[in-house]
Amino acid sequence: MSKKYISTPYIIWMLLFIFAPLCLVVYFAFTDKNGSFTIENISRLSQYSTVFMRSIVLAAVATIFCLIFAYPVSYFLSRLRASRRKIMLMIIILPMWMNFLLRTYAWMNLLEKNGLINKFFGLFGLGPFDLIYTNGAVILGMVYNYLPFMIMPLYSTMVKIDHSLIEAAQDLGANTYNVLAKVLLPLSMPGITTGITMVFVPSCSTFIISKMLGGDTAFMIGDLIELQFLGNDYNPHLGSAMSLVLMVLVLLCMSITNGFADEDTEVSF
Amino acid sequence: MKVLKKLYWAAIILFLYIPIFVMIGLSFNRSKSRTVWTGFTFKWYVELFKNELIIKAFVTTVVVAVISAIVSTALGTIAAVGINFMNKWEKMAVINISYMPVVNPDIITGISLLLTFNVFKSLFGLQFGMITLLISHITFNLPYVILSVLPKIRQMDMRVYEAALDLGCNPRQAFFKVVIPEIMPGIITGFLMALTFSIDDFIISYFNSGHAQTLPIAIYAMVRRKVSPEIYALSTIMFVVILCVLFIVNLKDLKKEKRKRIKEGVN
């Protein structure tokens, strides 16, 4: 008896609950209520193109902000002494262990019309500003929730970069910009690409952050899909079509970022 | 430059912690107001423990997390051992399909399972509830277990297993007495990951829980009602518990490191 057959129970589970469900999504996306083939679900999606665009744009902006904030943090972190590094890493990851609904709820409180931030501005006679239920609030929520997803992969590639490489570049006359552009950035590329996918994918498909912080202004793909399955306009066929497009979008994003990483390793070695 | 760096650190940490400190503060606030401080109270903590819905949700969460972590660790570990003996193509196919729940957005895993359970419902009369919740949690935990066990198996020297057989173990004994202890660190990591993901999951449970409520789902219901200061109390308790757990874990590590350093100093 070949030893590989001991994984049979798992293979059955995998086919039943990972493979078959995804096939069902594809099946539902291309059929109507009576089970006959149709592409109407897909073609109907064009009327939701603004929602799709908004999701992509908001997620992209959040990803860029995450990258900008996380890059220096990860660099500083990777250059600390091992014992302090551990403590700082802990401090950064600790908020992640709270349930994300609770964290987002806390931001709702801060951003409200008579929330703490507006109260604070009120002390100086400013405001109140419209902070919550804007696209900005949604982006803030995404950055807050997914920032550690960017810091972690960046940090783990940067910690492997030999500090003498940076010193060598400096000795050979590179200024800060050159060190960053020609040494640090290429060497940390794998971390950047992983970080981008790890932030972009959940941001693009979220339906809680947009609902809680965006109200009606920032309706996203996730909200649309949720409505088709649990909401008032129950239509799993349309919902599956949306999910299928979202899946393709995610795969596209990943292949683009992975492509960047591959090219870069080719150049640098 | 140094000052700038310190300022940057301070800004990031402030950004990460402000919401949490605000919540902790408000959990002791006497009035329901979310902005005005009216005095110190433990009222919301008492109310939290009287709230049957939350207690029940908490129990459900723990039960689902423990059962799904145990099942997925057992199933995943055995699967990883088997995968290791497959040829290149089989291995690639199985691993790629296994990682789908990791790669896909949670919402897609959620709705695809919902569609599947709907089919089961019409075929076998399966009801949404504890069973569907458990199946979905096991499903999204499995890849993480395999992900952490597989590298350990690759690192392992298979000759040790063969040696055990030569020395008179039957395959089962060799598996439990040689292979399992060797890959134990991977199994433990996988188990802990499964446990945390299961406790924290909202999106997949949201689509597949039926009437069963886990803690994140209960929190979502409370959040939608807007004003309920028990949420702050709950957050504070969670934060303190996590803080303690991490502190204890790290203390152990620190002690280990210290001992190592002392040893190195002696040498």
The residues in B 98-117 lying below 8 A from A, measured between CB atoms, are 98, 100-101, 103-109, 111-116
CB contacts of B112 in chain A (<8 Å) are: 21-22, 24-25, 243
Q: What's the pLDDT score for residue A121?
A: 84
Task: Tell whether B176 is covered by a domain.
Answer: yes
Whether B184 and chain A come into contact, CB under 8 Å, resolves to no
From B139's Cα to the closest Cα of chain A, the distance in A is 7
The residue range of the domain holding B68 is 51-228
Q: Which two tokens stand for residue B96?
A: 């790629």
- Going by C-alpha positions, the residue among A131, A107, A139 that lies closest to residue A206 is A139
> Is the confidence at residue B67, as pLDDT, over 90?
yes
Buried b (16+ CB within 10 A) or exposed e, B77-94: bbbbbbbbbbeeeeeeeb
> Is the confidence at residue B173, as pLDDT, over 50?
yes
Amino acid in the structure at residue A210: S
Q: What is the mean pLDDT of residues A190-209?
A: 91
φ and ψ at residue A103, rounded to 5 degrees: -65, -45
Q: Which residues contact B150 (CB under 8 A, 6 or more apart)?
A: B80, B83, B84, B95, B186
Q: What's the pLDDT score for residue B249?
A: 80
Task: Tell whether A53 is covered by a domain.
Answer: no
Q: Which residues contact B122 (CB under 8 A, 6 or more apart)?
A: none
Task: Tell whether B202 is covered by a domain.
Answer: yes
Task: Tell whether B44 is covered by a domain.
Answer: no
Q: What's the pLDDT score for residue A215?
A: 82
CB contacts of B119 in chain A (<8 Å) are: 24
pLDDT per position as a tens digit, A111-152: 888 788 888 888 888 777 888 888 999 999 999 999 999 999
Q: Can you tell me the distance from the alpha carbon of A41 to that of A239, in angstroms, rounded to the nearest whole number? A: 9
If one counts the domains in chain A, the total is: 1
Task: For residue A265, name the pLDDT band (cuts at 50, 70, 90).
Answer: very low
Q: Which two tokens stand for residue B232?
A: 């702050």
pLDDT per position as a tens digit, A33-90: 888 888 888 898 999 999 999 999 999 999 999 999 999 999 999 988 888 888 888 8
Q: What's the pLDDT score for residue B264?
A: 66
Task: Give the closest of A108, A109, A250 to B104, CB-based.
Answer: A250
Whether A1 and chain B come into contact, CB under 8 Å, resolves to no
From B83's Cα to the closest Cα of chain A, the distance in A is 6
CATH number at residue B188: 1.10.3720.10
DSSP B33-86: -SS----B--HHHHHHHH-HHHHHHHHHHHHHHHHHHHHHHHHHHHHHHHHHTS
Q: Is there a contact between B35 and A121 (Cβ–Cβ < 8 Å)? A: no
- Going by C-alpha positions, the residue among A39, A30, A52, A29 that lies closest to residue A222 is A52
Q: Which helix (H) or strand (E) holds A146?
A: helix A135-158
Task: Tell whether B179 is covered by a domain.
Answer: yes
Q: Is there a contact between A85 and A226 (Cβ–Cβ < 8 Å)? A: no
Task: Tell whether A180 is covered by a domain.
Answer: yes
> Is the confidence at residue A98, as pLDDT, over 50?
yes
CB contacts of B76 in chain A (<8 Å) are: 10
The residues in B 193-222 lying below 8 A from A, measured between CB atoms, are 200, 202-203, 206-207, 215-216, 219-220
Q: What's the pLDDT score for residue A216?
A: 79
What is the DSSP-derived secondary structure letter of residue B126? Answer: P
Q: Can you tell me the distance from the alpha carbon of A217 to that of A16, in angstroms, rounded to the nearest whole number? A: 39
pLDDT per position as a tens digit, B182-231: 899 999 999 999 998 999 899 999 999 988 899 999 888 888 776 578 88
Are residues A11 and B94, on separate chains, in Cβ contact within 8 Å?
yes
Question: Rounded to a whole number, what is the distance in angstroms from the first to the last CA of chain A?
Answer: 45
Q: What's the pLDDT score for residue B262?
A: 74
Task: Tell whether A116 is covered by a domain.
Answer: yes
Q: 3-state class of A71 per DSSP?
A: helix
pLDDT averaged over every residue in chain B: 88
pLDDT per position as a tens digit, B86-143: 888 999 999 999 988 988 999 999 999 999 999 999 998 888 999 999 999 999 999 9
CB atoms within 10 A of CB B188: 13
Q: Is there a contact between B65 and B201 (Cβ–Cβ < 8 Å)? A: no
Q: What's the pLDDT score for residue A75?
A: 92
Q: Is there a contact between A139 and A204 (Cβ–Cβ < 8 Å)? A: no
If one counts the domains in chain B, the total is: 1
CB contacts of B18 in chain A (<8 Å) are: 110
The residue range of the domain holding A76 is 59-230+260-268
CB contacts of B83 in chain A (<8 Å) are: 4, 7
Amino acid in the structure at residue B150: L
Task: For residue A268, name the pLDDT band (cuts at 50, 70, 90).
Answer: very low
CATH number at residue A133: 1.10.3720.10
Task: Tell whether B27 is covered by a domain.
Answer: no
Task: Tell whether B175 is covered by a domain.
Answer: yes
Q: What's the pLDDT score for residue B266?
A: 55
Q: Is there a contact between B217 and B201 (Cβ–Cβ < 8 Å)? A: no
Task: Give the closest of B9, B115, B142 to A76, CB-based.
Answer: B9
CB contacts of B10 in chain A (<8 Å) are: none
Q: Give the whole-number percent of chain A exceeding pLDDT 70.
A: 96
φ and ψ at residue A37, rounded to 5 degrees: -65, 140
Q: 3-state class of A31 per DSSP?
A: strand
Task: For residue A263, name the pLDDT band (cuts at 50, 70, 90).
Answer: low
The residues in A 227-246 lying below 8 A from B, measured between CB atoms, are 229-230, 236, 239-240, 243, 246
Q: What's the pLDDT score for residue A266?
A: 40
Closest alpha carbon within chain B to A243: B108
Task: Tell whether A129 is covered by a domain.
Answer: yes
Q: Can you tell me the distance from the alpha carbon of A32 to that of A39, in angstroms, rounded to the nearest whole number? A: 9
Q: What's the pLDDT score for residue A147?
A: 94
Q: What is the mean pLDDT of residues B243-263?
A: 78
